[in-house]
Amino acid sequence: MFDQGFHHDGSLDHVSTLAPEPGETVTVFLRTPRTQRDGVHVRSVRDGEPHFDAAVIDRETEDEIWWRADVTARNPITPYRFLLTGPAGYRWLTAAGLCSHDVPDATDFRLNTYAPPPGWAADATVYEIFPDRFASSSPPGAVPDWAVPTAWDEPVQGRGPLAPRQLFGGDLPGVTERLDHIASLGVDTLWLTPVFPARSNHRYNSSSFDRIDPLLGGDAAYRALIDAAHARGWRVLGDLTTNHCGDDHPWFTAALGDKEAPERGRFRFHDEEPGYETWMGVPSLPKLDWADDGLIHDMIDGPEAIVRRWLRFGLDGWRIDVANMTGRRGAADLTREVAARIRRAVAEERRDGLLVAEHAHDSTRDLDADGWHGTMNYAGFTRPVWSWLRGPQTRLDFLGVPAQVPRLSGTDAVATMRAFSAQTSWRSFTHSWSILSSHDTARIRTVCGDGSLTEVAVGLLFTLPGTPMVYAGDEFGLEGSWGEDARRPMPWSRPDTWDTRTLDVHRTLGALRKKEKALRQGGLRWLHVSEDGIVFTRERAGDRLLVMAARAAHTPVRIRLGTEAQPVYGGAHPLLPASDGLTTLPCDGPAFHIWRY
């Protein structure tokens, strides 16, 4: 059993509040085996100094003891952990698990007194739309000089100079017309990649931040989409690039043309080609310099600043592109300052606004700092899921890593998840996005290689803590071996190509997450991991769901549940404990099962 039966997490079953006020006393609960009758302390760090308080027994069950202790949320982030002494020896329990030696504070549990994320975000399911490839409401009109018009069912040119120039003609009215389909997936939040004018189909090289691309239908079409989504009780998130703009953006053209222009300070010019700082050496993406007051005014703080005006227009928050590089260049590191400024602006314009950062590797240093509410959890979710469920014959890299995605055991995949989740607060962890695919990655169907493994991946997406984010087309089993290749148009007119089983899995599990509070707000206990099987439970206020994911047939797993378990998903039979009190789980695979117990 994981951590020998000792458990604590940041969910409401174990912490009296997820949004403590500064100085508030928070009650925390620790679960231990009944053999731990004394020797339980909570250690919190207040003003940089460790402080110990004895825990007391709050209640007992047939199998465990619940201990109670108080922790003062003294600082904006107050770390705490549990010290266990007694017959079993000297041990610590941190968010990384149980250990019998001293460990640094980096994996301590955390109380966070910064303003919490909006209440709706904990229950959200996000749907990503790449506008040019989602749906077209009408034949395209005049095509700009940079674009190569492409018929909807023609192949995507995923590499070479044509990749950013192919224009398939998706638009915002096309999205509005397909909201019923999106609703069938249990989605309640839309995230559209950039909709500002740009000389590319991806639009991350914005020519302007102050209007919606006429190719997509302009401001009126955006307004209509937002209104239609709001009428359903949904939210809509914009996509803003704070690290760079396009080389034809008026700020950059003014700076390039006149060394005395006030916009000059928004960029870094130098003598090396192409003469200015760029994103990853791409000349069409000049990097913004966040030391410039004018940039701060026009992007964040001014009354008509970009962040603010589109929230007033109707957006419910922002996904920030290249958040990990924003404000970072050499000795300059302004990322946290920029994030905090954006968060203040979001809160001032829309109290329930959400702010999520793009980050493809270790985002933990940028969270819990009164900035991003969460991140795109590529490192702590996407990569370990890919590594466990990668098809045996699949050969793919991952976001530029110069090596194939490894095929790891379930033990190593879960160790990866825990390593990253342990270094942020529960609040940041659960408000980060769990992702199987995005417009920057391969498609999960290509990663897994078949529908049965894809079902296991979708199961993990909808049952592990975090905000599920579905990339449009995954529900149809679309494929793609890298980002641009995965930006294939939605096959609306070719239903014969849809994987209807995968579509049903998305709809069923999306609806289940919407129904079950334990899947949206419950805690997480890992019960078993092995080469091919993973077992965990999600719990909230006495409601418990047991989840088993298997990538292949495996040795039967026996665990102690203490009661009968009834099937919720996956077609398995009810689970009954044997005479020794242990319950044997199914050993088929690939398979995904959920029971209530």
> Where in the sequence numbering do the catalytic residues fall?
321, 358
Secondary structure E strands in 76-130: 77-84, 91-94, 97-99, 109-112, 126-129
- Angle at CA of residue 158, ends 189 and 183, nearest 5°: 20
Please, which contacts does 260-269 make with residues 24 or more away whose CB atoms are closer than 8 Å? 262/294, 263/294, 265/289, 265/291, 265/292, 265/293, 265/294, 265/295, 266/292, 266/294, 266/295, 268/329
For residue 556, cis peptide bond before it (omega within 30 degrees of 0):
no
Cβ proximity of 179 and 229 under 8 Å:
yes
Residues 6+ apart with CB under 8 A from 446: 394, 396, 479, 480, 481, 486
- Measured distance CA(78)–CA(57) in Å, rounded: 23
- Measured distance CA(418)–CA(499) in Å, rounded: 32
Please tell me whether residue 588 adopts helix, strand or coil conformation: coil
- Angle at CA of residue 308, ends 307 and 311, nearest 5°: 95
- Angle at CA of residue 324, ends 340 and 317, nearest 5°: 50
The two tokens of residue 225 are 């989409």
Secondary structure element (H or E) that encloses residue 221, with its range: helix 218-231
Neighbours of 52 (CB within 10 A): 10
Distance of CA 439 to the CA centre of its chain: 14
The two tokens of residue 448 are 């897994």
Q: For 432-467, give the DSSP string.
A: SEEES--TTS--HHHHH-SHHHHHHHHHHHHHSSSE
- Measured distance CA(389)–CA(519) in Å, rounded: 22
The two tokens of residue 116 are 């919490």
User: How would you class 260 by CB atoms within 10 Å of its CB: exposed for 0-12, middle for 13-18, buried for 19 or more?
Assistant: exposed
Secondary structure E strands in 260-387: 278-279, 282-286, 317-321, 328-329, 332-333, 354-357, 374-375
Cβ proximity of 175 and 134 under 8 Å:
yes
Residue type, 595: W
Cβ proximity of 94 and 108 under 8 Å:
yes
Secondary structure element (H or E) that encloses residue 294, with its range: helix 293-296
- Measured distance CA(457)–CA(342) in Å, rounded: 33
